Amino acid sequence: MNGNAAVSVQMLGGLRVSTREPAVPPKFRSRTAERLLSRLALRLGKSVAKSELMELLWPESDGDRQAQNLRRALADVRQALEEEPGIPLIVHADHDHIWLDPERVQTDVAIFKQTTDAGLEGSEEESNLRSAFQLYTGRLLPDDDDPRIGVYRMELEELFAQTVEQLIALLLRNERHDEALRVGRHAVTVAPLREDVHVALMRAYASAGLRSQAIRQFEELETLLDDQWGEPPSAKSVKALESLAGADPTGEPSRRPTSEVPAAESAGGAVPAGSPFYIARDCDGALRRAIGRRETTILVHGARQVGKTSLLGRVLNEVRRSDSRVAITDFQVLSRSQLATADAFCRAIAYGFSTQLGADLNLPAMWNEWLGPNSNLDAVVESALAKVEGPVVWAMDETDRLFGTVFADDFFGLVRSWHNRRAMEAEGPFNKLTLVIAYATEAHLFIKDINQSPFNVGVRIPMRDFGEAETRELSLRYGTTLKDSEVRRLANLTGGQPFLTRRALDALVLGGTRLDDLEANAAQEDGPFGEHLRRLLDVLDRDEPTKDEVRRLLRNQPFRDAKSAHRLIAGGMLVRKSDGALEFRVPAYRDFLGRSLDALNS
């Protein structure tokens, strides 16, 4: 710790906090206080808006409750860190912002970034690279599932990978092969899923004349990626192997040429589990870890066409290969008659759940009319769980379809009771159950008492659109090598909307369209997104009040109904920016709807 700093916050490899009194490490009263400190530490030297922190830490609470919780968490952080009265504050706050004193707090993240900058530009290159290499002890806050952390993680992992590549290259230039191998071997244990780190170690093996070891390292990378994401190494890594190892000494056939493009598949609907076009995001790992920890209730929340069903399909396909049983209830496939009454609905759910688990139950005999639908469904679920061995993962997809039905509150109250029973009945059948609930609409808009539902108790896994990194990776899967500037243009064109990103790449790679032409025609009814845009307009045509609200947004006027924003975000038309402002999810939406709604109004 430097001479001025009173507190050191380490976040690489996990959150660790120390003060000038190492014998008495600070103790935080709650996990929320630790998360608050970590968010402030990540923005060291900058103030963080209280509104942003409240939305991050307590997204389901109302404004007054959020403010009260923030005051309590801030007091907890101060109690853990602040010194005696009269000593300058470590944690500062005004009416709207909170920040850490950068003169009295140091973080490993800030030091790591400063050191990597020096490694890139300074004269003491090796010393700086080694310091940066030693500072990176693991992923940023690995136990934190907040997807916003993903941006910081990717930046730091990229810097670490660059450090490893440069350090190994420097050592190889000086023919210090053993040191280069030690650096590479350690790096792949710290960042096991970074392909470029594995490639750097492969280069070290090849330079040392250990060609077979380079090939084995590539095979280890293949296994890691397949176990984690069910995906092969990128074309770039395959090309690196071919250039380093040459022809396979075993005489086996060479790997697929990097220029070969996977067979085209239709963009739209769920992406098949084995598709080469599936792009993993932070939410994939978050869902795997939550299921692995056997969390009771997991909430997968994201707008339409962000990939919720694809995520469930991929992860649950992996779960089936473990010792867990899987049941999936897709509310979208239920008929109108099955949604007409609570009894018809509960019978359909009971049959689907027990059948998928293979539980041998006589449902007609079990269903007692005088008990009521919820009690009957509860009895069936408990009996089915009791009849099977091992953990059970029950995924509920398209849950929004239940919002607004007459039995929604009763059903979600029942689901909440299953959550509670797992905690209260440690040896009971519900101890086997993990619920995964996927939905788009904010539940509090439709549930009368959110506290009598699963939507305020589960582990939340938000899903976001693609960023530049995911857009770049998908373009590589299509076999195209876009420049960084072209990737940015493509990401801006589609807003990162996964379905439209696929459609755009279909047009570029399979249809031979130029990026300039794609941009020029994106908002046209006969353009590459025309069918999608027409469907968007059809949805608005069936909902005149919401269509009027979109007209108001196009005129930069405020909504009449505050719930409209939530509905349009859930429907995938709007997104809320970091500053709270609303904008169209895809730029073409504004242009197309502006013309179309104006024409309909004339």
Model pLDDT for residues 43-62, shown as the tens digit of each residue: 998 999 998 899 889 888 88
pLDDT at 388: 92
Rounded Cα–Cα distance for residues 272 and 520 (Å) = 31
Q: Which of 349, 351, 451, 356 is nearest to 407 (CA)?
A: 349
335 and 219 fall within a common domain: no
pLDDT-derived band at 477 (thresholds 50, 70, 90) equals confident
206 and 64 fall within a common domain: no
pLDDT of residue 3 exceeding 60, the answer is no
Cα distances (angstroms) measured from residue 40 to each of 97, 250, 274, 334, 579: 10, 54, 40, 46, 17
pLDDT at 353: 93
Asked if the structure places residue 259 within a domain, the reply is no
Domain-terminating residue out of 245, 268, 302:
245
Task: Read off the CATH number of the domain in which 78 is found.
Answer: 1.10.10.10
Average pLDDT over residues 153-179: 89
Average pLDDT over residues 120-135: 77
Asked if the structure places residue 386 within a domain, the reply is yes
312 and 439 fall within a common domain: yes
pLDDT at 543: 78
Asked if the structure places residue 112 within a domain, the reply is no
Domain-terminating residue out of 81, 107, 133:
107
Domain-terminating residue out of 462, 482, 499:
462
Span 187-235, pLDDT tens digits: 999 999 899 999 999 988 888 777 778 888 888 888 888 878 778 888 8
Asked if the structure places residue 190 within a domain, the reply is yes
311 and 412 fall within a common domain: yes
Please indicate whether residue 122 or residue 211 has the higher confidence score (pLDDT).
211
| Structural domain count, the chain | 4
449 and 516 fall within a common domain: no
Task: Read off the CATH number of the domain in which 334 is found.
Answer: 3.40.50.300
Element (H, E) at 17: strand 16-19
70 and 168 fall within a common domain: no
Q: What is the mean pLDDT of the chain?
A: 84
61 and 158 fall within a common domain: no
Asked if the structure places residue 268 within a domain, the reply is no
Average pLDDT over residues 563-578: 80
Give the highest mean pLDDT range of 199-208, 357-366, 413-422.
413-422
pLDDT of residue 136 exceeding 90, the answer is yes
- Residue 533 CB-density burial (10 A; 0-12 exposed, 13-18 middle, 19+ buried): buried
pLDDT-derived band at 348 (thresholds 50, 70, 90) equals very high
pLDDT-derived band at 246 (thresholds 50, 70, 90) equals very low
What's this model's pTM, rounded to 2 decimal places?
A: 0.57
527 and 500 fall within a common domain: yes
Look at residue 435 and give its three-state secondary structure. strand
Q: Answer yes or no: are the C-beta atoms of 345 and 412 closer than 8 Å.
A: no
* Owning domain of residue 195: 144-245
Average pLDDT over residues 101-109: 93
Task: Read off the CATH number of the domain in which 211 is found.
Answer: 1.25.40.10
Cα distances (angstroms) measured from residue 56 to each of 1, 124, 303, 563, 578: 30, 41, 18, 20, 11
392 and 506 fall within a common domain: no
530 and 583 fall within a common domain: yes
Q: What is the DSSP letter of 14?
A: S
* Paired tokens of 143: 């136990």
Asked if the structure places residue 255 within a domain, the reply is no
354 and 331 fall within a common domain: yes
Asked if the structure places residue 266 within a domain, the reply is no
pLDDT-derived band at 564 (thresholds 50, 70, 90) equals confident
pLDDT at 256: 34
pLDDT-derived band at 123 (thresholds 50, 70, 90) equals very low
pLDDT at 354: 92
99 and 228 fall within a common domain: no
pLDDT of residue 248 exceeding 50, the answer is no
Asked if the structure places residue 114 within a domain, the reply is no
pLDDT at 493: 95
Average pLDDT over residues 558-578: 81
Q: Answer yes or no: are the C-beta atoms of 108 and 120 closer than 8 Å.
A: no
pLDDT at 23: 52
Average pLDDT over residues 423-430: 89
